[in-house]
Structure 1
Amino acid sequence: MGDGVVTLFLCGDVMLGRGVDQILPHPGDPTLREGYVRDARSYVESAEAVNGPIPAPVEPSWPWGEALRVLEEAAPDARIVNLETAVTRSDTFEPGKEIHYRMHPADMPALAVARPDVCVLANNHVLDFGHPGLEETLRSLYRAGLRTVGAGRNADEAHAPATVTVSRTARVLVFALGMESSGIPPGWAATEYVPGVAHVVEPSAAAAAETVRRVRQEKLPGDITVVSVHWGSNWGYRIPREHIRFARALVDGGVDVVHGHSSHHPRTIEVYRDRLILYGCGDFIDDYEGITGYERYRDDLRLAYFVSVEADTGRLAGLRMVPLRVRRMRLEPATDEDRDWLRATLDRISDSVHITLDPDGALALLHPAAAARSTASPRHGR
Structure 2
Amino acid sequence: MTPTRRAVLAASVGGVAGLAVLGGTVRRRTRRAVPPTVPGDGDTRIGFVGDVMLGRNVNDRWSGTGSSESQAGGDSASGADPAGVWGSTLPSLRALDGLFLNLECCLSTRGERRPNRTYYFRADPEWAVPALDTAGTAYASLANNHLLDYGPTALLDTVDHLSEADIANAGAGADRAAATEPTVATVGDLDIGVVAFTDQSRSYGAGTDAPGTAWTSLDSRDPETRAVVGDALRQVRERDPDLVVASLHWGPNWEVRPSGTQRRFARWLIDAGVDVVHGHSAHVIQGIEVYRGRPIVYDIGDYVDDYVIKPDLHNDRSVRVELAIEDGRLERLCVAPVEIVDERVDRATGDAAAWVRDRVRTLSEEFGTTVERDGRGLSIPLAAD
Runs of 4+ in 1 over 6 A off after TM superposition: 51-54
Structure 1 partner of 2:56: 18
- Could you say what secondary structure the match of 2:319 adopts? strand
Structure 1 partner of 2:369: 353
1:174 is aligned to 2:194: yes
Q: Which amino acid aligns with 2:217?
A: V
> What TM-score, normalized to structure 2?
0.80
- Could you say what secondary structure the match of 1:62 adopts? helix
- Could you say what secondary structure the match of 2:304 adopts? coil
Of stretches 158-167 and 273-282 in structure 1, the one that deviates more from structure 2 is 158-167
In 2: Cα distance, 1:336 partner to 1:261 partner: 25
Structure 2, unmatched stretches of 5+, are 1-37
1:120-131 pair list within 5 angstroms: 120-131=141-152
Contact kept in structure 1, 2:218 and 2:262, CA below 8 Å: no
- Could you say what secondary structure the match of 1:92 adopts? coil
Out of 340, 346, 354, the position equivalent to 1:332 is 346
1:42-53 pair list within 5 angstroms: none
Structure 2 partner of 1:60: 82
Note the aligned Cα RMSD (angstroms).
2.7
Contact kept in structure 2, 1:5 and 1:317, CA below 8 Å: no
Structure 2 partner of 1:95: 115
In 2: Cα distance, 1:94 partner to 1:297 partner: 30
Structure 2 partner of 1:232: 251
Alignment deviations for residues 37-82 of structure 1 (CA, whole Å, 9 cap, x no partner): xxxx8xx98x89xx97965455111111122101223x32x32111
Alignment deviations for residues 182-206 of structure 1 (CA, whole Å, 9 cap, x no partner): xx2x232223321111111342433
Report deviation, 1:264.
1.2
Structure 2 partner of 1:364: 379
1:133 is aligned to 2:151: no
Report deviation, 1:115.
2.3
In 2: Cα distance, 1:9 partner to 1:370 partner: 22
Structure 1 partner of 2:174: 153
In 2: Cα distance, 1:166 partner to 1:81 partner: 14
In 1: Cα distance, 2:241 partner to 2:142 partner: 26
Report deviation, 1:326.
2.0
Structure 1, unmatched stretches of 5+, are 29-40, 372-382
In 2: Cα distance, 1:174 partner to 1:130 partner: 25
- Could you say what secondary structure the match of 1:284 adopts? strand
Structure 1 partner of 2:13: none
Q: Which amino acid aligns with 1:60?
A: P
Report deviation, 1:131.
0.7
1:7 is aligned to 2:28: no
Report deviation, 1:104.
1.4
1:190 is aligned to 2:190: no
1:273 is aligned to 2:311: no
Distance 1:110 1:72, change over 3 A: closer
Contact kept in structure 2, 1:223 and 1:311, CA below 8 Å: no
Q: Which amino acid aligns with 1:216?
A: R
Report deviation, 1:174.
0.9
Distance 1:370 1:144, change over 3 A: closer
Distance 1:221 1:162, change over 3 A: closer
1:111 is aligned to 2:132: yes
Distance 1:322 1:238, change over 3 A: closer
> What TM-score, normalized to structure 1?
0.81
In 1: Cα distance, 2:327 partner to 2:306 partner: 37
Report deviation, 1:135.
1.7
In 1: Cα distance, 2:333 partner to 2:115 partner: 41
- Could you say what secondary structure the match of 2:85 adopts? coil
Structure 1 partner of 2:317: 301
Structure 1 partner of 2:6: none
Of stretches 323-332 and 255-264 in structure 1, the one that deviates more from structure 2 is 323-332
Distance 1:222 1:129, change over 3 A: closer
Alignment deviations for residues 11-41 of structure 1 (CA, whole Å, 9 cap, x no partner): 000000111011123549xxxxxxxxxxxx8
- Could you say what secondary structure the match of 1:67 adopts? helix
Contact kept in structure 2, 1:26 and 1:106, CA below 8 Å: no
In 1: Cα distance, 2:43 partner to 2:270 partner: 19
